[in-house]
Amino acid sequence: LALESNPVALVLPTLACLFSTITGGRKSYNGYQVLRVNLTTTRAYNTINGIYLTNTFDFLTPPNRDNPTDLVVCPEQLLPLKGLFTTLRIPYEVAVPNLEKLIQPQEIEHETIENNLRRRQSDGAMNWNAYQKLSTIQNWMEAQAHDYPQFAQTENYGTSTEGRHLKVLKISTGGDGTKPAVWLDGGIHAREWISPATVSYIANELIKIAAEGESNENYKLVNSVDWYINPNLNPDGYEYTQTDRMWRKTRSGNSGFLASAFGCIGTDPNRNWEYQWGGKGTSNNPCSQIYRGTSAASEPEVKLTQDYVYARREQIKLFLTFHAYSQMIFTPWGYDDVPIDDKEELMLVARNAAKALQSVHNTEFQSGSSPELLYAAAGGSEDFAKGKAGIKFAYCYELRDTGKYGFILPPDQIIPSGEETFAAVKSMVGDVMAYY
Ligand code: ARG
Ligand code: ZN
């Protein structure tokens, strides 16, 4: 009961979690659980929200009354937290009994994650049967430009905090950058591994089409449109997920008492874009998973991408940013549940895409804005694309799944996700090009 009135009492066991060991070069999530709670009463909601606001728990969904709330709980937190739920009569279930078991997805295939990493490094070649390291993806992009100079090019448009390339693959059959263009980005959140995998899969499909030329039935997709594709918008974070699989943010340093006392690193790059920056669903606490940064576009990854997109805002007719998980297509606005003038047009394109997506593997995606379907969050990339760059058709995808595996989606779902998402993207391009 002391906990109920004082969520800070729960923070104490949490501190022990901060010291959980990194063994064999990777943080272990052994004994961690994902709990799913139903916050139907005001008392339940207020208490859990109080805990949420301490920033010491990794909430996979912010507390809300309409849908179950998932949170990651370290071993030290399990007993006090479950006790609190029981005391307050908050119904909960254990969604993931041991997170480490999921993080070793190859255990499903009777192989350890370490073996899988070793195999990836030795074969060097890109494939979509496994999740790939940043260097494999970026080397593959270079190889495409090298093999197909007539339509593929790479461009490094800057470097991340830790000095990694921000690299776009450009697919263009000519026209000096004056054709209508499509922007795709992935990996803005580090742990959402299906995003870079799916975005690079789509890039590969486009390259196959371009390589085949006129005889391919989809040739128009590459011949009448220029593509700008960055599968890894947050390269430092993505690399760091090899050490901590649940890492979300960038890897930039933070100053101030809280950050130094708890060693809190990184900014949420999808709360850092320069449109309605600092609003709902963001935090000014550098220890928070949704830390917005010191100012709009404080992160080099965001600032440089903003500039790149803004400079091409006349060409870019469709802006797509890929996250996971939830199986949703978001229209703007993400920053708040406010009306948008062209909602009907935006929804039509989204619904057609969801239909095309479902026709492939029968995967259901919902369409709507982020505040309508999930939560409000200011400083997101599609809001920048629409609000600042004036790109009419800007969307955010939440790819597979709906929480069974969450971020730890097994690698055998990469190709199905790629296939269905490519169908959605094709549908969007068709609709948007018909509009212009
Ligand atoms: N899961 C995404 C995030 O937390 C949703 C973003 C949707 N876009 C938005 N501007 N709210 O960043
Ligand atoms: Zn995300």
Please list every protein residue whose CB sits less than 6 Å from any atom of ligand 1. 270, 323, 330, 334, 370, 377, 380, 382-383, 396
**pLDDT computed for residue 20 by the predictor:** 63
Q: CA 211: distance to chain centroid?
A: 30
Closest CA to 317 of 214, 224, 217: 224
Q: What is the dihedral of CA 246, 252, 254, 260, to 10 degrees?
A: 60
Is a pLDDT exceeding 50 seen at residue 112?
no
- E-only strand ranges, 200-248: 226-230
Q: What is the pTM (predicted TM-score) of this model?
A: 0.92
Please give the ipTM for the structure prediction: 0.96
- Which residues are near ligand 2, the ion (C-beta closer than 5 Å)? 189, 323
Closest CA to 88 of 10, 161, 1: 1
CA of 107 to the centre of ligand 2 (A): 25
Question: Which atom number of ligand 1 is nearest to the Cα of residue 379?
Answer: 10
Burial annotation 371-383 (CB, 10 A radius, 16+ → b, else e)? bebbbbbbbbbbb
Contact 317, 181 (CB under 8 A): yes
- Range scoring the smallest mean pLDDT among 79-88, 121-130, 177-186, 228-237: 121-130
Active site residues: 398
**pLDDT computed for residue 298 by the predictor:** 98
For 350-402, how does the pLDDT look when each residue is reduced to its tens digit (9 = 90+)? 999 999 999 999 999 999 999 999 999 999 999 999 999 999 999 999 999 99
The amino acid that residue 119 corresponds to is R
Q: What is the mean pLDDT of residues 416-432?
A: 98
**pLDDT computed for residue 290 by the predictor:** 95
Closest CA to 45 of 76, 66, 18, 14: 66
Contact 222, 173 (CB under 8 A): yes
Is a pLDDT exceeding 80 seen at residue 24?
no
Contact 259, 294 (CB under 8 A): no
Is a pLDDT exceeding 80 seen at residue 176?
yes
CA of 380 to the centre of ligand 1 (A): 6
CA of 374 to the centre of ligand 1 (A): 8
Looking at ligand 1, which residue's alpha carbon is closest to its atom 8? 334
Looking at ligand 1, which residue's alpha carbon is closest to its atom 3? 270
CA of 176 to the centre of ligand 2 (A): 33
Tokens 């809001």, residue located: 383
Q: How far apart, in whole angstroms, are the C-alpha atoms of residue 384 and residue 309? A: 10
Tokens 């195999």, residue located: 119
**pLDDT computed for residue 56 by the predictor:** 78
Q: What is the mean pLDDT of residues 155-182?
A: 97
Of these ranges, 21-35, 62-76, 101-115, 178-192, the one predicted with the greatest mean pLDDT is: 178-192
**Closest listed ligand to the CA of 290:** 1
Q: How far apart, in whole angstroms, are the C-alpha atoms of residue 172 and residue 223? A: 7
Is a pLDDT exceeding 80 seen at residue 9?
no
* Residue from 191, 320, 323 whose mutation best tests the ligand 1 pocket (most atoms within 8 A of CB): 323
**Closest listed ligand to the CA of 330:** 1
Q: What is the mean pLDDT of residues 299-319?
A: 98
For 232-243, how does the pLDDT look when each residue is reduced to its tens digit (9 = 90+)? 999 999 999 988
Q: How far apart, in whole angstroms, are the C-alpha atoms of residue 297 and residue 389? A: 14
Q: How far apart, in whole angstroms, are the C-alpha atoms of residue 228 and residue 316? A: 9
For 184-230, how does the pLDDT look when each residue is reduced to its tens digit (9 = 90+)? 999 999 999 999 999 999 999 999 999 999 999 999 999 999 999 99
**pLDDT computed for residue 17 by the predictor:** 73
